[in-house]
């Protein structure tokens, strides 16, 4: 397991379009989420202990913010020849086990992950209603022990965006397993 942090990207960068298959057997694109006030793209996978350590928090945030116009979307870009747990076939199993409440898409070519410059799992990108990058960082300050969290940065960013406020300028990177490139 190689630990990486997300890279610092310029705020205000535009979201890139994509067309990816979901575990719901539908094709998904950026335009499919045009009604969302806030779009959260989470580069994630099935086997990563960092994702597994925070998946319940992501699910809870989607639940808490779904009626406020926030839409989460998970994207799995890991190659699966060497990591069969991350295959498209396994994604529905994990989604069911977790009780995933947001779309889970497969980036088999890894082109979407590359264009977004995703580095790790989870790598979280939050876009405002104009689909400009407003937050790119961690969920909170303790991925291992939810009961020891003192700062919920992703939740604070989402609250600021839906209330028309500025997101904190200081953003701590997300960290997790490296994306498994082909």
pLDDT category, 169, cuts 50, 70, 90?
A: confident
C-alpha distances (whole Å) from 148 to each of 5, 50, 80, 141, 144 are 21, 16, 34, 8, 9
Q: Is the pLDDT of residue 90 over 80?
A: yes
Q: Is the pLDDT of residue 22 over 70?
A: yes
Q: Is the pLDDT of residue 145 over 90?
A: no
C-alpha distances (whole Å) from 53 to each of 15, 47, 89, 127, 169 are 27, 11, 22, 24, 26
Q: Nearest 5 degrees, angle CA 171-CA 123-CA 6? A: 55
pLDDT in tens, 92-143: 999 999 999 999 999 999 999 999 999 999 999 999 999 999 999 999 988 8
pLDDT category, 1, cuts 50, 70, 90?
A: low
Mean pLDDT, residues 35-64 taken together: 97
The domains of the chain, with CATH numbers, are: 3-24+35-178 (3.40.30.10)
Mean pLDDT, residues 67-81 taken together: 98
User: Would you say 131 and 15 are in contact if contact means Cβ atoms under 8 Å apart?
Assistant: yes
Taking all residues of the chain, what is their mean pLDDT, rounded to a whole number?
95
Mean pLDDT, residues 168-178 taken together: 92
Task: Report pTM.
Answer: 0.96
């Amino acid at each position: 397991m190689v630990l990486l942090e997300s890279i610092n990207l310029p705020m205000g960068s535009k979201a890139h379009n994509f067309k990816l298959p979901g575990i719901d057997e539908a094709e998904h694109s950026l335009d499919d989420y045009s009604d969302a006030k806030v779009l959260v793209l989470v580069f994630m996978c099935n086997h990563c202990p960092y994702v597994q350590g925070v998946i319940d928090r992501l699910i809870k945030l989607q639940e808490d913010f779904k009626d406020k116009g926030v839409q989460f979307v998970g994207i799995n870009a890991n190659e699966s020849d060497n990591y069969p747990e991350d295959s498209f076939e396994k994604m529905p199993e994990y989604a069911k086990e977790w009780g995933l409440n947001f779309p889970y898409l497969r980036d088999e070519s890894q082109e979407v992950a590359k264009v977004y410059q995703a580095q790790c799992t989870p790598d979280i990108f939050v876009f405002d209603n104009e689909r400009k990058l407003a937050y790119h960082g961690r969920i909170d300050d303790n991925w291992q022990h939810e009961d020891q969290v003192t700062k919920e940065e992703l939740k604070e960013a989402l609250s600021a965006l839906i209330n028309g406020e500025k997101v904190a300028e200081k953003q701590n990177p997300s960290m997790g397993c490296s994306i498994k490139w082909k």
